[in-house]
Amino acid sequence: MKKLSPIVIVLAVVLLLGALAILYVLRPPAEASAPIEAIPLTIEATDTAVVLETVAETTETAASTPLSTEIAQPTTAASTGLTIYQISSTDSQVRFELDEDLRGNRITVVGATDQIAGELAFNLNDLSQTQVGVIQINARTLATDNNNRNRAIQNEILDTGAYEFITFTPTAVNGLPASINIGESVNFTIDGELTIRDVTTPVTFNVQATAVSETQISGTASTIISRSNYNLNIPSVPNVANVEEEVELYIDFVANAS
């Protein structure tokens, strides 16, 4: 029997390892653990205490109770005039966009999911009180128009088996006017911390929102991130090249009063 040369053996091993790597990247990804739910928004008070006036009902009570007592009170949306709006996954969508060369053609890849959840608090007559809760996106449900690409994104790029959620934690809301009327739109920004996998970096979303009614807010939030900031490396797979570094993120949301 003719013996194989060392070069042929090495090439065979390399090809086998490459095939195994591709199979690993394209294995069936983890499924969503459950339908997404909003993390309840904790209303932050502008004052740390509420001053209550007390009235003496008897001479003894009047003697023992001060007329002004500082008592710490739990803050609720009702006590601040805020209405809490919850993002509706049925009516909302998160998507990302970036360009790549696929089989020699330059295309725009779009991935999307409706599995987004979060809460917002508005007083339409006093937007200075506006608060935004943690926004979560189930990365396991992101999908493009190509199943192999979906598997590569979930298994290798986002590692959704270990990191199911992408999270945005707001830290500041800027640029809002004093108030808004029903039917009007406003533009503002939300600063916060965006966590993808195990990396967190500061980002700013540009937001356009419309007060559809007293019970509904709709709008779009957008930002651009760099893949390298989150170590989102593209696996080597056939026919894909020159994947864009910058990724556009969009949140088209409808939030209903809860």
* pLDDT value at 63 more than 60: no
Higher pLDDT, 123 or 8: 123
Q: How confident is the model at residue 3 (pLDDT cuts 50, 70, 90)?
A: low
List, by residue range, all CATH 2.40.128.110 domains of the chain: 6-43+82-257
* pLDDT value at 73 more than 90: no
In the chain, the percentage of residues whose pLDDT exceeds 90 is 71
Per-residue pLDDT tens over the stretch 144-162: 999 999 999 999 999 999 9
Per-residue pLDDT tens over the stretch 194-208: 999 999 999 999 999
Whole-number Cα distances in Å, 61 to 56, 64, 66, 82: 5, 5, 9, 35
pTM > 0.85: no
Q: Which residue has the tokens 């294995």?
A: 27
Least confident of 4-13, 16-25, 141-150, 186-195: 16-25
Chain centroid, CA 52 distance in Å: 40
Yes or no: is domain 6-43+82-257 CATH 2.40.128.110?
A: yes
Average pLDDT for residues 208-230, to the nearest whole number? 98
pLDDT number for residue 80: 76
Per-residue pLDDT tens over the stretch 84-111: 999 999 999 999 999 999 999 999 999 9
* pLDDT value at 62 more than 80: no
